[in-house]
Amino acid sequence: MSTVTISAADVNKLRTQTGAGMMDCKKALTETNGDFEAAIDYLRKKGAKVAASRQDRESNEGVVISRTSADGKLGVIVELNCETDFVAKNADFVAFANAIADAAVAHNPADIEALSQLTVDGQKIADAIIDKTGKIGEKIGVSKYEVVKGDKVIAYIHGNYRLGVLVALSKDAAGADEAGKDVAMQIAAMNPVAIDKDGVDATTIERELEIAKEQIRAEGKPEAMVEKIAAGKLNKFYKDSTLLNQEFVKDSSKSVAQFLDSVDKGLTVTAFKRVALGA
């Protein structure tokens, strides 16, 4: 046990340095005889122990941050998870998620592992996550990291950080910012599977055709008509489920492709990403 007197000022100093709770800081200083460096290590080890003990817990709450670079050529989405909605709504937790997204934009890491090695406020993100796990007492971590590059990238966050969208346009035309936000909102609402039918993978096409054929046969249609009707149903799937072919939510008389072309001739979508919390 410590023989050193731990003052309130000492506790407050450690709390300011680490962000840990008052009682945790007092215990750390007591256990380390008032040695600040050792106390910081003590708190970090506590965080690692808490992190290890929470590995089997579900962490489906959190926030989704969507962010673009200053030049609008790069966008990232980061999903930072925790266990409870209470923590997800905490301002410090949201700020930490934003700092991770800022680091991702600045350094464009290849994947989540590379992202975890970047620094935020002088500390590796991986270490900061362990520290915050110890302080918060919940399992936290980055579960998704997406990147979109293009001539004009727009970021959109929907539903109090519950869903993030990035959309890349083919050029930075007049009106591109507003049009891009409209299309990002369309992606958030309609959840397209691809930009257009050329982007739909073969497995999805095969599955949609098989479902259509079974429906047609169940309706008692002649076998000779099955292929033709199924092809029509597949075209309906493309219209409903691929971005450029969808009806534009703000004006159902136009497809998304027609809307973009009306903003600037030839304007189109070159890439998009959509991340929903916990999905």
The answer to whether residue 94 sits within a structural domain is yes
Residue predicted with more confidence, 125 or 35: 125
pTM metric for this prediction: 0.79
Residue 59 contacts residue 133 (beta carbons within 8 Å): no
Q: Which pLDDT does position 110 carry in this prediction?
A: 95
pLDDT at 54 over 60: no
- Give me the chain's average pLDDT, please: 90
Residue predicted with more confidence, 214 or 163: 163
pLDDT at 96 over 70: yes
Q: Which pLDDT does position 47 carry in this prediction?
A: 64
Residue predicted with more confidence, 217 or 157: 157
| Region 143-172 average pLDDT | 97
Q: How far is CA 72 from CA 120, 221, 261, in A?
A: 22, 52, 20
Residue at a domain's end among 86, 116, 149: 149
Q: Domain with 107 in it: what CATH number?
A: 3.30.479.20
Q: Could you tell me what percent of the chain has a pLDDT over 70?
A: 92
Residue 140 contacts residue 81 (beta carbons within 8 Å): yes
Pair (96, 145) in one structural domain = yes
Render pLDDT for 108-128 as a digit per residue (tens, 0 to 9): 999 999 999 999 988 999 989
* Element housing 191 (H / E): none
Pair (36, 67) in one structural domain = no
Q: Could you tell me what percent of the chain has a pLDDT over 90?
A: 64
Residue at a domain's end among 93, 124, 149: 149
Q: Which pLDDT does position 167 carry in this prediction?
A: 98
Residue at a domain's end among 123, 149, 175: 149
| Region 196-208 average pLDDT | 93
Q: Which pLDDT does position 48 carry in this prediction?
A: 55
Q: Which pLDDT does position 243 carry in this prediction?
A: 98
Torsion sign over Cα 86, 91, 97, 100: negative
The answer to whether residue 41 sits within a structural domain is yes
Q: Domain with 45 in it: what CATH number?
A: 1.10.8.10
Pairing of strands 119-120, 123-124: antiparallel
| Region 161-179 average pLDDT | 96
* Least confident stretch, 14-18, 49-53, 247-251, 261-265: 49-53
What range defines the domain where residue 124 resides?
61-149
Q: Count structural domains, the chain.
A: 2
Pair (134, 118) in one structural domain = yes
pLDDT at 134 over 80: no
Pair (79, 142) in one structural domain = yes
Question: Sorting pLDDT into bands at 50, 70 and 90, what band is 1?
Answer: very low
The answer to whether residue 114 sits within a structural domain is yes
- 25: helix, coil or strand? helix
